[in-house]
Amino acid sequence: MGRTMLDVSYEAPGERLAELVSSFYRLDFAGDHFSELERADRAQFRFQLKGHGEYHFADGTMSPSFPVTIIGPTTAPVLAKSNCPLSIFGWGMPTAGWVALMGNNAGAYVDKALDARHIFGDWIMEIRDELIAASDFAEQVEIGCLAAENIFRHKSTAPFEFTSLVDAWLISDGDPSVESLANQSGLSQRQLERMTKRYYGLPPKKLARKYRALRAAQSLAHGDSLDETGLALAFYDQSHLIREVKQFTGLTPGQLRSGQSTLTRATMKGRRALGGKVSPLVSES
């Protein structure tokens, strides 16, 4: 990015929203050329307060950024591009929040973006206007909290118990066993595969690989030893580690250590700083 400037701020949600929102954030980019990889991630709800851009997904499809954009869970890195200054306010959604937002349509928007106006109409643009007029990030978080309390239309039917079980399983071990998840849930492996693909976008084994790679990437980016985090034994060898980390972040361990991606470095630093305030699945990946 040369001499351009990128700032990313994070804030943890309050207790009332903790099951629905993973974190609030604001991104400001002062340059005129933005091209950064976003790692495979949870679903996002984003207000474009300034500028415009586009998202290039791993399957070759491209979506423009909308004034308010909903992005489903991603199973591979996404290339975000823009040719102007940017300001974005948004929040991530744990899987229960994603399903509470989209209901039965949750599985249809994995690795896709959609215009939030198609769901919420003019109301969501009024929220955007309030965010643009806000004096600072703290005020935007307050507005975001109020808005978030009204967007989760399917909260009463969201699978909180199931996603809580899966989320705990994902961080229980460097290489968690699908059989152990089946035993804990009382579901068959076929049922598990169907449910995790619908809600998370991936079957259990690949879902575990995704979060194992993201946790390893977080450690590598901060110069931590994988031996200390218990993740070293989850990879067969160095080449396996490189392949897995690159598949889900778009970067090699060496690129992560050197801070080659300004966006990845900023987001990983911001999420880690939320440790103790949010789920470890958020702060450690």
pLDDT for 181? 96
C-alpha distances in Å from residue 119, one per residue of 82, 101, 125, 162: 25, 10, 11, 26
CATH number of 160-283: 1.10.10.60
In this predicted model, what pLDDT tens digit does every residue of 64-78 receive, in sequence order? 999 999 999 999 999
Write out the residue limits of the CATH 1.10.10.60 domain(s) in the chain.
160-283
Please, what is the angle between helix 204-221 and helix 160-170, to 10°?
50
In this predicted model, what pLDDT tens digit does every residue of 231-244 receive, in sequence order? 766 776 888 888 99
pLDDT for 175? 83
In the DSSP assignment, the letter for residue 71 is E
CA distance 266 to 90: 15
CA distance 268 to 281: 12
Q: How many CA atoms lie within 13 A of 72 on its CB side?
A: 22
In this predicted model, what pLDDT tens digit does every residue of 101-125 receive, in sequence order? 999 999 999 999 999 999 999 999 9
Write out the residue limits of the CATH 2.60.120.10 domain(s) in the chain.
6-154
User: Residue 61 burial by CB count (10 A; 0-12/13-18/19+): exposed, middle or buried?
Assistant: exposed
In this predicted model, what pLDDT tens digit does every residue of 209-231 receive, in sequence order? 999 999 999 988 887 777 666 67
pLDDT for 2? 41
Inform me whether the pLDDT recorded for 183 exceeds 50: yes
Q: Pull the structure tokens for residue 215.
A: 């946790």
Inform me whether the pLDDT recorded for 4 exceeds 60: no
CATH number of 6-154: 2.60.120.10
Inform me whether the pLDDT recorded for 194 exceeds 60: yes
pLDDT for 1? 38
The H-or-E segment that residue 7 falls in is strand 6-11
CA distance 62 to 42: 18
pLDDT for 232? 66
Average pLDDT of the residues of the chain: 93
As a whole-number percent, the residues of the chain with pLDDT over 70 amount to: 96
C-beta of residue 115 within 8 angstroms of C-beta of residue 65: no
Long-range contacts of 130-133 (CB under 8 A, 24+ apart): 131/47, 131/49, 131/89, 132/49
